[in-house]
Chain A
Amino acid sequence: MHTAFLTLLSHYRRHPGQLAMLLLGLWVASALWSGVEAINASARDSYARAESLFTSGLDGLQRADGQPLTRDDFLRLRRAGVPVSPLLEGRLEAPDGTRLTVIGIDPLTLPGDSAFASTDNQADNRATLANFVTPPWQTRLSPDTLGAFGLDLRNATGATPPLADGQRLPALSLSPALPPDTLVMDIAAAAELLGSGDTLTRLVAKAGQLDEAPPGLALTRADTQLSPGQLTESFHLNLTAMAMLALVVGLFIVQAALGLALEQRLALLRTLRALGVSGWALVGLLALELLVLGVLGALAGIASGAWLAQRLLPDVAATLGSLYGAGVSSDLRLPWHYWLGGLGVTLGGLLLAGSGVLWRAARLSVLGLGQAQTWRTGFHRQLRLMALGGGVAALAALALWGWLARQPAGEGLMAGFGMVGFVLLASALWLPPLLAALLAWLSARLRRYALAHWALADLQLQLPRLSLAMMALLVALSANLGVSSMVGGFRLTFLDWLDQRLVADLYLQPPVERTEEIHAWLTERPEVAELLPTRRREATLVATGVTTGAAAESPPEETSLDRPVVLYGITPGVRLMPSWPLLDTLEGRDAAWAGLAAGEVFINEQLAIAEGLAPGATVTLAVPGQRETRRVLAIYPDYGNPRGEVLMATPRLAKTFHAPPRSVGIVLAEGVSSEALGRALNARFAQGSDALQDQRSVKRLATTIFERTFTITRALTALTLMVAALALLASLLAQARERRRHLAPLWALGVPRRRLLWVSLAQLGGLALVTGLLAVPLGIAITAGLVGVINVAAFGWRLPLHIFPGEVALTVTTAVGVALLAALLPALRLWRASPRALLAEETPA
């Protein structure tokens, strides 16, 4: 058995290229897959830490009027027997620009069974508490936050690194369970760092301990806060789908290599059978070979995947941070099951790819020795099966589409991915029959042109080998086109939308208590043409109603809800109204704006899709002690916002819901420079420079965030395309010997080598061109699926379908380029081979 195994493996010594191709396929497939899984696992670890942070499991209390709470509020409540704990939250900047969340706690009143209690089991020092609550205090942070201070594990504990503003942090103490970029310290230390004086961010209480909010306060239940895990689920599903695509493309290579290695060893297998090795033993040996190769490839792949993830993670973390406000560590943290999972998936995929080979080996007939291959019949049967399978996949895609069309918008993320997957599968399966038919048709037309005829006939012969690589290329190309069109379209839409939304020249974020003063001052300034104050407040959407029937007076059909939403106030002035984008209105833009000024509301697309609301519906909004029903007059796009939002006119929001003021947009008079006003403002109110931002910097920031959002998506599609190119190259290399055998007689018959080279390139280029052309409609279909179904479900907004001729041309060019590149190496080897050697090469048995 040992001998038989070594004999089987000896094949790879003769054909190291096949072994390399096999391992390459396994390696890239598992590298991309495990890279993405590593990112997901690392992000989930961050979410888990964020969710287990004490602040997330606690009910929160804030003042209903939006003013900050103070220590007196805390004392008053405690003295009244209300078990609340003060919490101070703020942002500080590390020297490297990282934004850190500082959480100041009072460990003495913080509900004891909250997760902070498990922060650290190591310290067994009775002095720990005293050290925590007394000067010089301590800063607890996770090791993956150390990078922001340029520290590493060895010198971290006890260090007192400076912040960007020169203040020094209390001595560091490591707590691996804390979320990244989060500093936890005693509230006294935090108050000093943040300069927050008597004020608090909020009071927290054990979940469910308070039956109702104390008078004047608003209660936010822990379970109504969306966890980062929930918010980002769709994003990670996106990544997983991409990784799956890469895995499948990689397995295409593996399947091709395995098929080749088996075909070339058929004689060997028969010989072994004839020498007394049983059929099952052979299958077992082949399976063992698969396992050995699989473990090798998977281990290399997983290691590279971890490396890849480490490279991509900072962008992913930035994306998740900006898109969902979810803190994700940019350091990789991999649980043990990640490594096992990666191995499992790769081996599973390999088994799937190799099952065909094993099946064929199992059915191998000993008497088949020397029997001429009936590949032609076999291939035709295979083509028929592919066409049939493609048809089934297409039907499945159609069925899913039909189902999705009847779902409310925003549902069916999985079904959406399923549909796109089936479309890809159908196209991939249909590709070889299509190519075969095309070649047959063309070759019948070109019979007179000997070389062209030969080239086409020869391509038909190559097709069984090339079809898998071409399928991979088609899938990668169309995914690439689909994603880049989606991103490009999104980019256009997003930039437009930014232009429309950001109408003010300057944005000022004044301290709450000085808002009125600053507002009054600004109103007097001649440089200011218009002020656009905003307000914001958290509220709960408790009911929605749809007016039925023609009579608007009839009572609406109500649905009760408990959905946290943001109330946002804008000033519908002359600058803002004409440009603020609206997707849908009840009775036209003018009526909508008039209605908004009169107290009705607009809602963002996310909320409309999530709750199935259309203009004309009513929403009932509640804040503590207040409950108001308003009519929805319009729906507006709100890209990048994970939350539902209700828009009101600022004065109305202030009056009805007592929302506190937020930033003020300042529209400057004609020809006035923003610097002058900024200086005057600073001189008068001693504002920090970061309180005032000009429109350009806001746009730049938004655009940066946008670009980072899709970095990973782009990187993954590009990598998938590279994998497909590798698949093609590997297929070509694997059949290089055979190609030479086919080309040599032609050369002997008097076709110059240079022409043979060109013909070879033309063959593959032509095949790739057809594939690339087919990828265009497929890519557009995928774009449609992405913007119409998947984005709506994943992000809550719909995008217009944009098609970029440049991207299309690039796709086709890429296809041909990739194919030519892949064909070049084997062709050059042919070019340089001694022709005599070509003729002398033995025909394999």
Chain B
Amino acid sequence: MLDFCDVHKAYPTPQGPLRVLDGLDLRLAPGESLALMGESGSGKSTLLHLAAGLDLADHGEVLLAGESLARLGEPARARLRRESLGLVFQQFHLVPSLTVADNLRLQARLAGREDAEWSAELLARLGLSALARRYPEQLSGGQQQRLAIGRALAPRPALLLADEPTGNLDETTAGEVLELLLDLVRDTGCALLLVTHSAQVAAPLDRCERLSHGRLDHDPRAARP
């Protein structure tokens, strides 16, 4: 589903280039769920951006569904994001001008594969049916993140990328949201790459990798099951 082969990524800083990823290798099989852990600034978000084609590697290759992102043009990468990926951000990034229902359907509609039934089911399962006509800023944090998850899953993506999806939520809410996320991932059969710094969040996932110094640590759990 997702392959990182010897990926290097550095950012220019006044103190010289900052090497964020340094020969990283990573594989994610279809339907597999992987937790990516690491300290702040260890390159978790960068990895996620490279995976989504939001940014390109300096060296090495990122393959998504077998296609090398670097070899695709921007429009093709955008199409791939639209159709094959779901993104969940720590900051939710909902569209304030659209209602809850329209936010949820947004990506599916952009991808041209809206499934009204599935959308309705998602709304219901995310507990947002009663709030469908509201606007994002009228929701609580947990509700907003649930909506973001719904938006990401509405087009039935093959891979869901989640960046600290519970980072902005309190503990109880975080638990509920995570549970919902995993349930839905499981039901749709899509792969999941979840970035977190919380072991508790990482625990229910199939696999867990730790990122440090731009590479994956060889954690005992890194071995294939």
CA distance A459 to B80 in the complex (A): 27
A835 and B54 in contact, given A448-B109, A750-B81, A751-B110 (Cβ under 8 angstroms): yes
Of the stretches B96-104, B125-133, B177-185, B191-199, the one at the interface is B96-104
B107 at the binding interface (Cβ < 8 Å): yes
Residues of B within 8 A of A447 (CB): 102
**Does B208 interact with chain A (Cβ within 8 Å)?**
no
Q: A373-B137, A835-B55 given as contacts; is B97 within 8 A of A749 (CB)?
A: no
- A396 to B: closest C-beta gap in Å: 35
Interface residues of A in 625-664 (CB under 8 A from B): none
Residue of A nearest to B108 (CB): A450
A154 CB-CB contact with B under 8 Å: no
How far is A626 from B128 in the complex, measured between Cα atoms in Å?
97
Which of A454, A457, A750, A835 lies at the interface centre, i.e. has the most chain B CB atoms within 10 A of its CB? A750
Note all chain B residues with C-beta closer than 8 A to A749.
81-82, 87, 106-107, 110, 151
Chain A interface residue count, CB cutoff 8 Å, equals 31
Of the candidates A458, A461, A751, the one having the most CB atoms from chain B within 10 angstroms of its own CB is: A751
Are A752 and B95 touching (Cβ within 8 A)? no
Which B residues are in CB contact (< 8 Å) with A458? Answer: 95, 97
B85 near A750 (CB under 8 angstroms)?
A: yes
| A832 part of interface (Cβ distance < 8 Å) | no
Q: Mark A367-379, 1 if CB is under 8 A from B, else 0.
A: 0000011001000
Query: Which residues of B sit under 8 angstroms from A449, Cβ to Cβ?
Result: 109
Which chain A positions have C-beta within 8 A of B85? Answer: 750
Distance, CA A454 to CA B110, complexed state (A) = 10
In angstroms, how far is the closest chain B Cβ from the Cβ of A580?
65
B151 to chain A, nearest CB (A): 8
Q: Which of B27-35, B71-79, B216-224 lies at the binding interface? A: B71-79
Q: A91: which B residues are within 8 A, CB to CB?
A: none
Asked whether, in the complex, the Cβ of A745 is within 8 Å of the Cβ of B93, the reply is: yes
| Interchain CB contact under 8 A, B95 and A746 | yes
Asked if A461 and B110 make an inter-chain contact with CB atoms under 8 angstroms apart, the answer reads no
Q: A836 is contacted by which of B55, B87, B93 (Cβ under 8 Å)?
A: B55
Q: How far is the CB of B170 from chain A (nearest CB, A)?
A: 15
Contact of B137 among A372, A742, A836, A839 (CB under 8 A): A372
Which residue of A has the minimal Cβ distance to B80? A750
* A contact face: mostly helix, strand, loop, or mixed: helix
Most buried by A among B78, B97, B102, B109: B97
Contact of A748 with B by CB under 8 A: yes
Task: Establish whether residues A460 and B97, one from each chain, have CB atoms under 8 Å apart when the complex forms.
Answer: yes
Interface string of A730-749 (1 = CB under 8 A from B): 00000000000010111111
Q: Distance in Å from the Cβ of B75 to the closest Cβ of chain A?
A: 5
Interchain CB contact under 8 A, A750 and B82? yes
A808-845, CB < 8 A from B: 835-836, 839, 843
Residues of chain A within 8 A (CB-CB) of B81 are: 748-750
Q: Are B107 and A836 in contact (CB under 8 A)?
A: no
Taken together as a complex, chains A and B put the C-alpha atoms of A448 and B107 apart, in Å, by: 12
Q: Interface readout for A423-453 with B: 1 if CB under 8 Å, 0 if not?
A: 0000000000000000000000001111101
Q: Which residue of B lies closest to A449 (CB)?
A: B109
A360: interface (CB < 8 Å): no
Alpha-carbon distance A461/B103, docked complex (angstroms): 14
Q: How far is the CA of A447 from the CA of B80 in the complex (A)?
A: 23
Q: Is the CB of B91 within 8 A of A751?
A: no
Say yes or no: is A589 at the interface (Cβ < 8 Å to chain B): no
**B112–chain A nearest beta-carbon distance, Å:** 8
Whether A751 contacts B82 in the complex (CB less than 8 A), given A372-B137, A454-B106, comes out as yes
Nearest residue, chain B, Cβ from A450: B109
Q: Bound state CA distance, A461 and B135, in angstroms?
A: 12
Contact in complex: A450, B106 (CB < 8 Å):
yes
In the complex, what residue of chain B is closest to A457 when comparing beta carbons?
B97
Closest to B99 in A: A457
Residues of B within 8 A of A461 (CB): 96-97
Cβ of A695 to closest chain B Cβ, rounded Å: 66
Distance between A448 CB and nearest chain B CB, rounded to angstroms: 7
Q: Inside 8 A of A742's CB, which chain B residues have their CB?
A: 95-97
The reply to whether A754 and B75 contact each other, CB–CB distance below 8 Å, is: yes
CA distance in complex: A451, B109 (Å): 8
Take A745-B93, A750-B81 as given contacts and tell me if A457 and B98 are in contact as well, using a CB distance cutoff of 8 Å. Answer: yes
Q: Which chain A residue shows the least CB distance to B109?
A: A450
Query: Is residue A753 within 8 Å, beta carbon to beta carbon, of the partner chain?
Result: yes
User: Is residue B89 contacting chain A, with contact meaning CB distance below 8 A?
Assistant: yes
Interface centre among B74, B81, B89, B96 (most CB of A within 10 A): B96
Partner of B110, one of A450, A457, A835: A450
Is B94's beta carbon under 8 Å from chain A? yes
Residues of B within 8 A of A747 (CB): 54, 78
Given contacts A376-B135, A457-B102, A843-B91, contact A751 B78 (CB under 8 A): yes
Other contacts beyond A748-B89, A752-B75, A839-B54: 7, CB < 8 A: A447-B102, A457-B98, A457-B102, A742-B95, A742-B96, A748-B54, A750-B81
Which B residues fall within an 8 A CB radius of A?
49, 52, 54-55, 74-75, 78-83, 85, 87, 89, 91, 93-98, 102, 105-107, 109-111, 135, 137-138, 151
A-B contact pairs, 8 of them (CB 8 A): A451-B110, A454-B106, A457-B102, A742-B97, A745-B94, A751-B110, A835-B55, A839-B93
Q: Which 8 A-B pairs have the closest CB atoms?
A: A750-B82, A450-B109, A750-B81, A745-B93, A457-B97, A461-B97, A752-B78, A458-B97
